[in-house]
Structure 1
Amino acid sequence: MAHLMSSALQYEAGDTWLADCGERPALVRAAWDEERLALVVSGARWLVAESRLTRGWPAASRLRDSPHGPVLADPDADKMFWLVPLDAAEELSDVRHLVVHSAGWSLSCPPTGRQVDGRFWLWRPDGSGDLNDSARIAAAFGPRDYRPEAEALA
């Protein structure tokens, strides 16, 4: 019984933190109460680094035993969303299998303790505000690769 209470408190701490990251926490909670995904806009506390699930899952397995932040998975869309610090865009810009969305990008989030519309937290927010370390993510995705589209833009 104590474990169930402890899990409930952890989920609540994560939900509170995540809802407070939104511009209107009450709307985030209302969406969750209605079993819908809630839109949480990035840029106030974190950015979103997006990968395909098929690329992100192996990277996540390499990070499993080290400190990490929240990661949202959407198997139906073959996507993973890594919550990263506001200054992560430059450090992750040349990681081949990641796209860092700019501030103002909306992430459709379930609450921390349950799945909604196929999305679930692989590593849920715990209320601490801890995010994924950019250098660790870059290392987990492998060596920095040549990107032919970058040359085409030059």
Structure 2
Amino acid sequence: MAAQPARALRNAGQEWLLSCALHPADAQHAWDTEAFAEIPAGPYWRVVEAPLTRSVEAIHRIGPDRLGPVLGDVYREVAWWLLPPHLADELDDVRPLTVHPAGWVLTCPPVQRSLAGRWWIESPDGSGQLTDPLLLGAAFAPGGRPSRETFG
């Protein structure tokens, strides 16, 4: 029984991700042929790149209820976090984060499965929830734990 709600969330997450693509049919075709879909950052979210190991630690620090989608690549040892599209300079001074500009293309596998070492560490769930940049910055800051003030 527990698999059905999880599967429904993955399906909703995949539909949401497709809705963010410029050409959803092309993205679906890529996944159907075991290729990555190319989805540019922009109106729906921005992408922040970080080392994979530190990202896994940050995921635990932030907690599951406050996370948006996080894509990982075991071969490149990199993770990509999806953050709100209005991201300004909140993370400019946080090492080792790289904020990619609107239009930067995220090459991603489908939500339901991994592809060539790339998988959704935290899958999109269809809600459109994204990680708060202040929480991400706090999780990567020295000491690495968001304070109570960060949570509001």
Instruction: Work out whether the TM-score is over 0.5.
Output: yes
* Alignment partner, residue 44 of structure 1: 43
Q: What are the residue-to-residue correspondences of 1:79-94 with 2, within 5 Å?
A: 79-94=78-93
* Alignment partner, residue 62 of structure 1: 61
1:4 CA drift (Å): 2.9
* Alignment partner, residue 148 of structure 1: none
3-state SS of paired residue (2:81): strand
Equivalent position amino acid for 1:122 in 2: I
The ranges of structure 1 where at least 4 consecutive aligned residues each deviate by more than 3 angstroms after the TM superposition are: none
RMSD: 1.5
User: Cα deviations across residues 48-98 of structure 1 (Å, max 9, x unaligned)?
Assistant: 000111322222221234411000010100100000011224111111110
* Alignment partner, residue 27 of structure 1: 26
- On the 8 A contact 1:71/1:80 being kept in 2, the answer is yes
- On the 8 A contact 2:59/2:67 being kept in 1, the answer is no
* Alignment partner, residue 152 of structure 1: none
* Alignment partner, residue 139 of structure 2: 140
Question: Is 1:15 aligned to residue 6 of structure 2?
Answer: no
3-state SS of paired residue (1:57): helix
Could you tell me the percent identity over the aligned residues?
42
**Structure 1 residues 141, 7: closer, same or farther in 2, change over 3 A?**
same
TM-score, length basis structure 2: 0.88
3-state SS of paired residue (1:91): coil
Equivalent position amino acid for 1:138 in 2: G
TM-score, length basis structure 1: 0.87
3-state SS of paired residue (1:90): coil
3-state SS of paired residue (2:120): strand
Greater share of residues in helix: 1
CA distance in 1, matches of 2:5, 2:53: 32
1:8 CA drift (Å): 2.3
Equivalent position amino acid for 2:43 in 1: A
CA distance in 2, matches of 1:89, 1:77: 27
